[in-house]
Structure 1
Amino acid sequence: MDRRLQEDLVDRVTINQQALRDLQRDVEAKFSMQVNVPLEGSEADAVVEVQRQYKEAKGIDLPADTAREVVRQVRPQG
């Protein structure tokens, strides 16, 4: 792409800060929630429980990797 055209396109782009704030608020409202992470039992079982809670409360299929991060943040590391 020619540099002048690229600069022209950049000049035309404006960021609607209020729309970004609204989007962030909506995403946080949709995905934020408190979960009860089991402290006993296997990590795998805790991951499944976190996923179940998200599905029940928000209708979201939380990826196992994300649920595992939640579990690892809450459980004591040994």
Structure 2
Amino acid sequence: MIPIPACSIVSTPVAGHLTDHLAVDTRVRAGDVVARVQAGGRAHELRAVTAGRIGGPMLRPTQPVHAGDAVLWLDRGTAA
């Protein structure tokens, strides 16, 4: 059996380009900004919905994104 950590997915509500995200293993609290998406000349902040650590990105910075795309995942098993 492969252990799967309790995780949460952070997705973007808007289409645009991913500009940056926090590094893997960075501790976050619910509400912390974890990534940004540039859309329509404006930066949209993506926030953690739960405490934990950044588990890993799903996309690279500068990559185009569509509304609803997963951007990164949070490991909730190591809450801040």
TM-score norm. by structure 1 comes to 0.30
Relative contact order (alpha carbons < 8 A, sep ≥ 6): 1 or 2 greater?
A: 2
Structure number having the greater strand percentage: 2
Structure number having the greater helix percentage: 1
Structure with larger Rg? 1
TM-score norm. by structure 2 comes to 0.29
